[in-house]
Amino acid sequence: MIRKILLPTVAVISCVSLLSSCGDSETQEKNTIDEEVFDPNSSLNTIFDGKIFSIPSPVQTAYLIKSLDVGFDATLLNDNSNVGDYITEYQQALNLGIYGTDLGYSALYEEKNISMKYLNSVEKLTAELGLDAAFDTSFLKRFEENSGDSDSMILLMSDAFKKSDNFLKHANRKSTSALILAGGWIESVYFACELNAKKQSPDIERRIAEQKQSLNSIIDILTEYNKGGSNDTLIADLSDLRLSFDKIIMNYEYAAPETDEEKNKTTFHHTLALDFDQEILNEIKTKLSSIRSNITKA
Amino acid sequence: MKLIISLLLSIFALSNVNAQDCERIVASCEALLQEDGGSFISDGQVYTAFLDREKAEFKTTFYGGTTYRIAASAGDKENYVIFTIKDPKGNILFSNKNYKNAPYWDFKVIETLPVTVETELDLDLKVTGCAVMLIGFEK
């Protein structure tokens, strides 16, 4: 009986494998795979994400901070001497996200010596996490060579994090990828909150309020890839933070976008009004600072 | 027993082929972020989905004062992927379906906007396979 079921299955799968591995012709790309093999519940279909999550790059908030002529503040960074104290994969991944944002922030301000120190911390954690392929010697060399050029450093760093993300997803280490993204997001919003407390800026306040959707995505991704319940505490803390973000009222008004077909470009003309006050921002700042402190303490 | 091992090996081989196929697509998608003189910085994530007549969707935020590029690929031909951007009310803001399934498109965002991005294969061209999407931003 088993033989009767297995023989045709092996034959079908072997044929599909053979077909898939024979070059790149258009005919082949159009091939469909047997419905039975592509049962949506089969393990074959779970090779890649069933769900997709997106977190905006933390570097974007650093760009905003710099554009507002807010000076560089080294006291915001996570002390790079802590790096050796992060022992578990959980600590290493979260703090890689944090150090990555610190690196981006210091690179943007062309703080060469500080950037190199944080590059070193990033390098140590990526080695511990087995991400050497993305942060290899070629990357390090290029980063050092471009250490006076903030745009090149940001580009190189973003590419290296993209390679890591791709590697982790394909290696079925999505929980690690999720933690790196969460760490990066927490650090960038922490910067925004702390800098705004020092010198109030309507642009930074708005950017903080705009994080509502991203926080939801962070909680979703940590919940989806919660390996052995290791993210439980962080999820609970972020869910508490969400209660504060939920007090922010967003009023969106649709307006027709405008498309320039020749330039492959569409301009969005909507409006998004955000209603919040200082009390909400203070609440967010306090909660976020506590979450970040729990992550960075050794 | 031999049959079971063969079955497992075949499944592994297929998984491996799909992964390699996806890797190749990631590389071609990366090139799209720089096409036509674009200097877009990746958001650091690779959005990958193995699609079989279904849609993959995700939510993200486009920040005001930024131009974004979305690039999508699912193989050697550039027009296999349809992507659609919806606003918080579900209005369709853009679909490359209206522009010959263009493999990349730029979005000038004046005010911040939470969006939903839907991705699917153009079933007239390809029914199943790996779809890759990248998001880049220009400061």
Asked whether residue A274 is domain-assigned, the answer is yes
| pLDDT at B4 (0 to 100) | 57
Is there a contact between A30 and B125 if contact means CB atoms under 8 Å apart?
yes
pTM: 0.83
Tell me the CA distances in angstroms from A193 to A167, A210, A289, one per residue in order. Answer: 32, 13, 9
HSE-CB for B17 with a 13 A CA cutoff: 21
| pLDDT at B53 (0 to 100) | 87
ipTM: 0.88
Which residue of A6, A59, A214 is in closest CB contact with B61? A214
| B70 touches B133 (CB < 8 A) | yes
If asked whether residues A11 and A83 sit together in one domain, one would say: no
Which residue of B7, B17, B58 is in closest CB contact with A10? B7
Pick among A34, A48, A126, A185 to test the B interface (most B CBs inside 10 A): A48
- pLDDT, tens only, B14-30: 445 455 678 889 988 99
DSSP-derived secondary structure letter, A21 = T
Is there a contact between B106 and A265 if contact means CB atoms under 8 Å apart?
yes
If asked whether residues A168 and A281 sit together in one domain, one would say: yes
Tell me the CA distances in angstroms from A295 to A86, A92, A126, A233, B113, one per residue in order. Answer: 10, 10, 17, 11, 30
If asked whether residues A7 and A26 sit together in one domain, one would say: yes
If asked whether residues A200 and A61 sit together in one domain, one would say: yes
If asked whether residues A29 and A120 sit together in one domain, one would say: no
User: B89 burial class (0-12, 13-18, 19+ CB within 10 angstroms)?
Assistant: exposed
| pLDDT at B19 (0 to 100) | 59
Check the CA dihedral A27-A28-A34-A38 and report its sign: negative
Tell me the CA distances in angstroms from A101 to A56, A58, A259, one per residue in order. Answer: 12, 6, 34
- pLDDT, tens only, A184-203: 999 999 999 999 999 999 99
If asked whether residues A68 and A26 sit together in one domain, one would say: no
Residue B64 has pLDDT above 90, yes or no: yes
Please tell me the total count of domains within chain A.
Answer: 2
Which residue of A33, A52, A57 is in closest CB contact with B44? A57
Number of CB atoms found within 10 A of residue A290's CB:
12
Q: How far apart are alpha carbons B123 and B103 in whole angstroms?
A: 16
Structural domain for A26, as ranges: 2-45
| pLDDT at A148 (0 to 100) | 83
How far does B4 lie from chain A, in Å, by closest CA?
A: 8
If asked whether residues A8 and A149 sit together in one domain, one would say: no
- Which chain B residue shows the shortest CA-CA distance from A4? B3
How far does B55 lie from chain A, in Å, by closest CA?
A: 10
If asked whether residues A102 and A243 sit together in one domain, one would say: yes
Pick among A5, A19, A54, A96 to test the B interface (most B CBs inside 10 A): A54
Residues forming a β-bridge with B73: B132
Which residue of B63, B93, B134 is in closest CB contact with A60? B63
Residues 6+ apart with CB under 8 A from B56: A49, A52, B47, B49, B118, B119, B120, B131
Residue A83 has pLDDT above 90, yes or no: yes
- Which chain B residue shows the shortest CA-CA distance from A7? B3
| pLDDT at A95 (0 to 100) | 97
If asked whether residues A128 and A173 sit together in one domain, one would say: yes
3-state helix, strand, coil in chain B (%, to 5): 30, 40, 30
Asked whether residue A50 is domain-assigned, the answer is no
CATH of domain B2-138: 2.60.120.380
If asked whether residues A111 and A242 sit together in one domain, one would say: yes
| pLDDT at A133 (0 to 100) | 85
If asked whether residues A59 and A99 sit together in one domain, one would say: yes
Domain residue spans in chain B? 2-138
If asked whether residues A105 and A163 sit together in one domain, one would say: yes
Mean pLDDT of all residues belonging to chain A: 84
Q: Report percent pLDDT > 90 for chain B.
A: 61
Backbone φ and ψ of B120, nearest 5°: -150, 160
| pLDDT at B6 (0 to 100) | 56
Q: How far apart are alpha carbons A131 and A175 in whole angstroms?
A: 14
Q: How far apart are alpha carbons A195 and A201 in whole angstroms?
A: 9
| pLDDT at A50 (0 to 100) | 56
For residues A3-15, average pLDDT: 41
DSSP-derived secondary structure letter, A58 = H
Residues forming a β-bridge with A242: none
- Which chain A residue shows the shortest CA-CA distance from B118? A52
How far does A230 lie from chain B, in Å, by closest CA?
A: 23
Is there a contact between B112 and A169 if contact means CB atoms under 8 Å apart?
no
Asked whether residue A95 is domain-assigned, the answer is yes
Which residue of B7, B48, B117 is in closest CB contact with A48? B48
- Which chain A residue shows the shortest CA-CA distance from B98? A261
Q: How far apart are alpha carbons A206 and A14 in whole angstroms?
A: 55
Q: Report percent pLDDT > 90 for chain A.
A: 67
Pick among A161, A264, A271, A276 to test the B interface (most B CBs inside 10 A): A264
| pLDDT at A13 (0 to 100) | 41
Q: How far apart are alpha carbons A72 and A110 in whole angstroms?
A: 10
